[in-house]
Amino acid sequence: MSSPEQEGGLTPEERAFSSLSDIQAVIESAKARGGVEALERYIRKRLPEAEEAEVGEAAEVAVEIIDSIPIFLARARQEADQRRLRSVVGPLLDHAEQYFLQPVDLIPEMTYGLAGLLDDAYLLLKVLENLDKGPERFLDWDLQYPLQFLRSLVGKEIAQRLDAIIADAMQQVSAHLDELWSRMSHEA
């Protein structure tokens, strides 16, 4: 097992806090790139039949979801620690955080501002939804509406690509856990 010194001198808790700070900085930077107006332009293109009041309401909901991402991550990590599931849940949350922190992804925030965080938010919420599909619900949050809402904004093609990214990440974690179990059983 590696020590905090081997991992940049940070404990897992410090790394998680640092990551949340970085995610908050990405959100603030995206807001500075055109603000809600840029998000509303994006929504008008994605939902051309929407009336102006609906566009404004959709932008408000989107900002609320995006602003909640650090809270969702912190709560998920806390739950994983309380249940002693860090080895399973941590890598999936790490994957979602890494995607969030990539400046260029399926909808880049460098180009689209806040709209560029819609795919990031979808990916994280989809990870959390998948964690709830286990034998015991993980957070027991109803994520159906926010996921449907985000899916309508990112579009079917991007949502499918994000779903594939999540499935791959879950498969990687599963393979890693299989390898750990195999090593542990051979040592016993």
- pLDDT tens by residue, 129-150: 998 887 788 898 999 999 999 9
Q: How confident is the model at residue 6 (pLDDT cuts 50, 70, 90)?
A: very low
Q: Which residue has the tokens 């995607």?
A: 99
CB 79 within 8 A of CB 139: yes
Distance CA 94, CA 100 (A): 10
Helices of type H across the chain: 12-32, 35-46, 52-82, 86-101, 109-112, 118-131, 144-154, 156-187
Which residue, among 144, 151, 177, 138, has the nearest Cα to 62 in the 3D structure?
151
pTM of the model: 0.85
In this prediction, residue 28 carries a pLDDT of 95
47 or 135, which is more confident? 47
CB 169 within 8 A of CB 94: no
- Find the mean pLDDT for residues 15-40: 88
CB 31 within 8 A of CB 111: no
Query: Model confidence over 93-129: pLDDT tens digits?
Result: 999 999 999 878 999 998 899 999 999 999 999 999 9
19 or 127, which is more confident? 127
CB 110 within 8 A of CB 120: no
Query: Model confidence over 165-188: pLDDT tens digits?
Result: 999 998 888 887 777 666 766 665
